[in-house]
Every structure is written in C-alpha cells, then in structure tokens.
Amino acid sequence: MDKEQQTNFIRIAGTVKGETRADHVLYGETFYLSHIEVLRLSGVKDTLPLLIPERLLETMPEEGDAVEITGQIRSYNKRGESGSRLMVTVFARSFVTVSPEYLVPCNEVSLCGFLCKDANYRTTPFQREIADMLLAVNRSYHKSDYLPCIAWGRNARFAQGIGVGTQLQITGRLQSRNYQKSMPDGSVQERTTYEVSCSSIEPVP
C-alpha cells in the first residue's frame, strides 16, 4: 500500500447501478462514471458514484454486474447555476468483476487527515447525538480532498471537542443520504449527499 492509500483508502463490493458513461479525458485517458449499490448489514442500500480509469476496464461494466473495488475517496467543486457544490466520488485503483453468487458486500473506509472547521454537534428530535465534520486529506501534487464525515453518539460528543487543524485517523463506511434543499425562489430540490459514517475517530499523536 503506497502513502496515498495509507491516508485515503476505500474497499467496496456491490452491484453496478445504471449505465457506465464516459465522464472526462485527462492526459489522454478517458475516465468513466458509474454507480455502485452496496448493501449495509441493516438492509439499507447505499448508491455511490464510481469513477473508473479506462486502463482498468477490460470490458465495460453493465447494470447488475457484481464488482469489487479498492481505491480512494475523491472530492471536487462543481459549479452550477445555483452555486458551487462539493462532489464526492469513489476513485477506483483496482476493479474486478465477480460472479454475483460470490459477491460479499463490503464498504470499508480508512482516512487520515486534518479537521478543517469546528464540528457541527447537534441532537435529533429523538435525542440522537450527531456531529458533522469536514476532513482535509492530502494527496500528491499538493492537492487535497475535502471529505464530509458524520459521527454518532459517543463519537459525536468526542468530535465536538476536537480543535481545528487536529490530525485524525478515521475508519467507517461511505454512505449516501437523500435530503431536501430549499432554493432562493422558494422551490425545493431533492438532492443526495455522500459522507463517511465514522465507526472510530482517533487523534494522530
């Protein structure tokens, strides 16, 4: 595992959802965008955006294919008419198609980065404790990925006391969540956000 993978690593296994299409070309290589549906232990399904370099594709994945991926979580800002949005994708560094009967759902994330701003701690109407965090994870060429993370219960209480700039080691899973956003014209848009649900948070000594 190289240095980048030590600070930003994801392993997922699931089913391709929707079509796979060419997204952009960089340095002469085409990158393809698809989605992967991953089953949680609870039975809930997360549908996650998946970016695949052309060099990894022996055949184009089709809807319903079972796949196993290792890679990184990447982010970028997408500008639109309503402003800039933080987009999060799974960047594949290995890609394998497997027989559906041998598919074992997997969603494992390990990150090492720096807390960008104070955690947003709150409680739900059912008194469940939540803390939202934004983690900056460095990668090559002086770039960073800014990754939303969410903590629950004891982890949420711990997160609210962490100082900005603290280096953290986080493990968990990448999840999708639907929400409604109120627009300036009074309309409401259905949107999906992607965040790392933290199972552990540890300051790096």
Other C-beta atoms within 10 Å of 67: how many? Answer: 20
Domain boundaries, the chain: 3-106, 110-203
Q: Which of 4-8, 182-186, 199-203 has the highest mean pLDDT?
A: 199-203
CATH number for the domain running over 3-106: 2.40.50.140
Joined together, the tokens standing for residue 81 give 């008419």
> What pLDDT digit, counting tens, does each position of 38-53 carry?
999 899 999 999 999 9
> What pLDDT digit, counting tens, does each position of 165-185 carry?
999 999 999 999 888 777 778
- Cα 182 to the chain's mean position, in Å? 24
Other C-beta atoms within 10 Å of 157: how many? Answer: 14
- C-alpha angle 46/125/147, rounded to 5°? 40
* pLDDT average, residue stretch 150-164: 95
Mean pLDDT for the chain overall:
92
What CATH topology corresponds to 110-203? OB fold (Dihydrolipoamide Acetyltransferase, E2P) (2.40.50)
Per CATH, 3-106 and 110-203 having the same topology is answered yes
Per-residue DSSP letters for 46-107? EEEEEEEEGGG-SS---TT-EEEEEEEEEEEEEEETTEEEEEEEEEEEEEEEE-GGG---EE
> What pLDDT digit, counting tens, does each position of 127-143 carry?
899 999 999 999 988 89
